[in-house]
Chains A and B, each alone.
Chain A
Amino acid sequence: MIAHVAWRLSRRAAVNLWRAPLPSLVSVLTIALALFLGMSFAIGLAFARSLLVSWGAQASITLYLDPATTDDQARALLARVLESEPDADAVYVDRAQALRRLRVDLGDLAGALDGLAQNPLPPTIEVTPRGSPEPAVVRVIAAQLQRLPQVAQVDYGREWLDKLTALGRSLRGFGLGSLIAVLGAALLVVANTIRLAVYARRDEIEIMKLVGATDGYVRMPFLLEGALQGLLGAGLALGSLAAADRWFLPRVQQAFVFASGVAAPQILLSHALLLLGIGALVGLFGSWLAVARFLRT
């Protein structure tokens, strides 16, 4: 009995959707737009995040030592560093090595160094954390190393990392806030569409109730109609995302990959299901709002 009633009610919901396509279309498009924006933003954020992480991995921490440090002291220090940071590689770069490196880096301009009376470069220890630590982890390691003796200064690209982290955080907050706002708007549009549908069929509702339909039975086709709108909207959003993934992202990816080695994000089945679920829920809840209000009066 449940099965054929469910079948009948879903059929009716589909027919009703079909009979008043215009308001339904507005609902569907609004939900699609909301989900498309939300999902693009989430994908962009995930992408930015993996970029950030990959930069974090490249970031090495440079310990500038006191120029008076002897080679023996520096090697002892290197041992301490390796001991205290087992998840990092570290090398000692003495002053002569540092100058040679600078010469190589400068290339044609290296002649300028010949005029120097003495080597101005301090000895350094370069620490490279293994894996892809989060910016926050890099920061903690740097702070620990700062406390070692003979370490004059620690450089880990701090400003970059700090800025990126802050940017990521505020983007996430902004994204979440606007996603909620957009989904809320979609919900209200659905509620309004269903309210119109309820109003257009108030005679039918009255008669259904007079011949003994329960509120649940009256409500069900509208809820299904709302959920259907949500599902269609999510489907549309998924289609657009897939199209963007196919035509637009490859070009963007070309621009980024060589710089970062980070693969472009992919739409997974779980993402698709999540999107469909959210769409259906928004539609369902929107129509529930509309119908609950009507049945109470």
Chain B
Amino acid sequence: MSSTIAVDGQSPGADSSRLTEPLESAVIRFCGDSGDGMQVVGGQMTNASAAFGNDISTFPDFPAEIRAPAGTLAGVSAFQLHFSSHDIYTPGDELDALVVMNPAALKTNLNDLKQGGILIVNEDEFDSSNLNKAGYAPGYNPLRDEALLSRYDVHLVPMTRLTRDAVEGLGLSPKEAARCKNFFALGLAYYLYDRDMSTTKEWIRQRYKKNVAYVEANIRALEGGYNYGYSTEKFLKRFQIPRAQLAPGKYRKITGNEATAWGLVAAAHRAGKRLFYSGYPITPASDILHQLSEMKRFGVRTFQAEDEIAAMTATCGAAFAGEIAVTGSSGPGIVLKGEAINLGVMTELPMVIVDVQRGGPSTGLPTKTEQADLLLAMFGRNSDSPVPIVAAASPSDCFAMAQEAVRIAVQFMTPCFLLTDGYIANGSEPWRIPRLHDLPPIVIKHPQGRTVGTNGSNGQTDNGTPPPFLPYQRDERLVRPWAIPGTPGLEHRIGGIEKRDGTGNIDYSPANHQHMTETRHKKIANIADTIPPQEVVGPKSGELLVISWGGTYGAVLAAVQQCLAAGKSVAHAHLRYLNPFPKNLGDIIRNYQKVLIPELNTGQLRLLIRSAFLVDAQGFNKVQGKPFLIREVVARIHQILEAH
């Protein structure tokens, strides 16, 4: 089949001149133009590494423009993969290997490659036109810059030409042939890190099953890259990263958005209900809508609304009708939903609002991550409007927290926020596949219908007819009943106007509004009785407590662990429940002399922690559309510990 030597992804053990160096972990990044298929090959290497049994963490980074002009800096797309034989929490601070497909990608990514790191470059694309588009000075070619190249282990490979050669004879146009070069690059990476090509070959066969020539071409390109590494003398070393010692179980790779979608369906299933999900297309939340639209046979109803407002309002309607009602968006959409979230607050109906946060304000940085919607979730509505908030810590944690959000919503008859972010939504990691019956059950009790005679429930309780149904009669946790349309005898009206407790009838009286406002707050505060106590990594008391929330979990945990290993008196508390806070959080905070709160915003959790516990918490705030690097957090911890 292939015109070159066939190597079925097996380690060429016969070749003893080659050195295979075992490594604990490696970080590789593929970067090129957004038309170069970098996300595809990054995803493939992730799958191959996950299937092999490494722990993985990924960071796809792509431009907001669907097709920025080819070859420009704005059009660069990158995919970073960290794969390891031990537990890892982030996609890695710096790169061990960088695969570069054009000058623009080199310019924007080279800084992240460590000294002495492997740099693989498709030299065919470094012509004067592309160099110009990347903004290099006329006459300058970085590939001829000895001073620059001497810092790295550089491999210049004519990938475009070699790919064309590999696919020759298949009847592809030169353009089509060149398009396969991403798989050539992937093949080379597979050689370098001793990966098995079979999962990728199978993927190619499925992906292009309607076009035999494409299947053959991409497989030849993949093998071509692999064989190039094998047969040329350029790569004297290759690397092996053994399997990770993960907890026993069956695993798969999962992204945050997948985990959110599946978690919502699982929660509906555990509640014995159907899921209704409405959304309006928005980056980076749309994938949840896509996932759920594919899940019709699970009874999932999706509604792509005319706008964010309608998506939220329809969610209120579906909640009233008795569904597990969920909407999802990102910051710019959440702003528009505020009006109807408040309708949910006032009518005390259960629903979940997923906010996949991105850089802002306004349209901001659509494809870049940030965690700056915490205060929006907390306060972004008119008047006193308490809404519980939970946040996922990692891609796979979205599965658990989606279920928690549903649990809180239905158990407390309230809208509930689930915060994730672009980083964990698109990032992936191994996920231990759960058994369905091990997932927490969600118990829902709707009040039973009752037969009434005609003229029965008009409030006239004479001649033995039952008293009218009270839609705002609360239980000991202050939760009202969820009576759904279609239930005989429980006809009632709800709405956004202030209402009397018990009857739910319109009531504007001063004392009633005070009572209802306080009741709404107390009800949300009562949720704290049902959430797990906050846990701490590290000593139970000491010099510094680092508090984090959301997608910064991995970087902050890894940073604290490094500092602990270096003998520092530091501990880590990662919050998944942000409103209300876990009940023991105040006691924990008081056990440390200092508190540091690293966040990808200008200090939103810090504001809440300071006001809740009157503690002089310090911040570490990064707003660059990028996640924390471990070393950045480590440096800040050292700085605080050294300051007196």
A, B from the same assembly: no
